[in-house]
Amino acid sequence: MSAPATAYRAKELVVLVGGYQSCACPDDKTFDRLRERLATIPDVDVVRFGADPRFPYDTFGAIESSALNLRDQIRSVADQYTAVHLVTHSMGGVVADRAFSDGLSRADGVVTYVSWSAPHDGSEAARGLEIARLVTGAGDGAFREGLLWLQMESNSPAVSDLARVRAVAPPDGVVRLDLREASDVLVTERDARDPGVASRILTGAVVEGHGGILADPQALDLTMRTIETRRVPPDDRARALQKAADAESCARAHRLCRRSPRTRPARVACPGRTEGIHTARGSKALPVRRDGGQAIVEFALVLPVLLAAAFAIVLVAEIGVARLALQHATAEGARAGALTNDDEAIRETLAAALSPLSADRVATAIEPPATEPPRNGDPRGSLLTVSASYDVPVPLGFVGLPRIVVSASSARRMEWTP
């Protein structure tokens, strides 16, 4: 059982720090579940770092500048609160770490700091992006354009910083807790290493742990208990469940989990997390080979294949959407032409029905045109055909991928009479 919550003497402040490509705008829902929980605590203010224009948070910019702004914002309001609590997600944890390295401390009122899915010891994904970008060509090349198509900016000061950052010593007097999902493949076991800090591997997010932790009841409960009691909650889970979470995390990160061939080890260990695996007898440790660079190289080699597969899936989906939209638009255009015998009305109707396609990529043909028979006389009963073709935007088209054009047509008997 956890200790009872501390009675609030005056207002306390919770500062939320988002991750890469997040924002402090109203439609960013990163911390919505946590905000709902915090709203139940009396006399607690909640602010999102970056919402105050005096202390901007550019998630694409250098981590150092964001860390200084976070430090300065907390110091600017510290005297208004009895305590300040930090809750971060993903890169936000690295920003908070740097803020403590830049002087933020218990003396500034910070009493707890809970990080979710934070790459405290650097990001293997960021290092892989850096390597792949250098291999495929730096700058605004095909690699970056492909990731932008997937709404991922790979070439930014923040990514470069994440590739190089290392874990720092925990701040004195501040209660620290690291939380990470076993199913998190973006922030690996090695990325999350934070020596001297209590950590938990959770199993609440089954599918995707990096974003799933934001809604995981386990993470929310542990965070709330840490804020309320100002201490790290005891791990009430059964030992078997703790070991299962470690093992799942190890497998998700493609680590080699070793067991002693002679005796059953006391726990499952992952390379890089410990120097060896101690047997149940405790006689001696079995050495575990370090493979720090292997994952980075594998990621860089596999990334182009994954991107190609993603491009293919999205492209096939776009072609299907374009085909359906064109068929609908040409049918509407033919209907308008049959009733009005007006080419301009046909084009306007077709353009209005093209959504979600871009009208400037669509070429339209009307047969026969209004200036030719039978449409320039009495066309009633004749056949009107409306055709349209759409030039599908192909990612990386400039490197030689073929041009893809989707076409559709519809015909209708003329009903208009002079």
Assigned token pair, 292 = 């720090």
Terminus-to-terminus CA distance in the chain, angstroms? 87
Sign of CA dihedral 55, 58, 62, 66: positive
Architecture of the domain defined by 12-123+165-249: 3-Layer(aba) Sandwich (3.40)
Instruction: Give me the residue spans of the domains in the chain.
Output: 12-123+165-249, 317-413
Express each pLDDT in 144-173 by its tens digit. Answer: 555 544 456 667 888 889 888 999 888 899
Between CA 336 and CA 331 the distance in angstroms is 9
How many C-beta atoms lie closer than 10 Å to residue 386's C-beta?
28
pTM above 0.75, yes or no: no
Between CA 53 and CA 306 the distance in angstroms is 38
Express each pLDDT in 76-89 by its tens digit. Answer: 999 999 999 999 99
Q: Supply the pLDDT for residue 243.
A: 62
Assigned token pair, 24 = 């402090």
What integer is the mean pLDDT of 321-339? 92
Residue 2 gets which letter from DSSP?
Answer: P
How many C-beta atoms lie closer than 10 Å to residue 230's C-beta?
17
The residues that bridge with 15 in the sheet, in sequence order, are: 47, 86
Q: Supply the pLDDT for residue 82.
A: 94
Most confident option among 124-128, 130-134, 360-364, 393-397: 360-364
Q: Which residue has the higher pLDDT, 362 or 262?
A: 362
Q: How confident is the model at residue 49 (pLDDT cuts 50, 70, 90)?
A: very high
- Integer-rounded Cα Rg, in Å, for the chain is 29
Helix (H) or strand (E) holding 87: strand 84-89
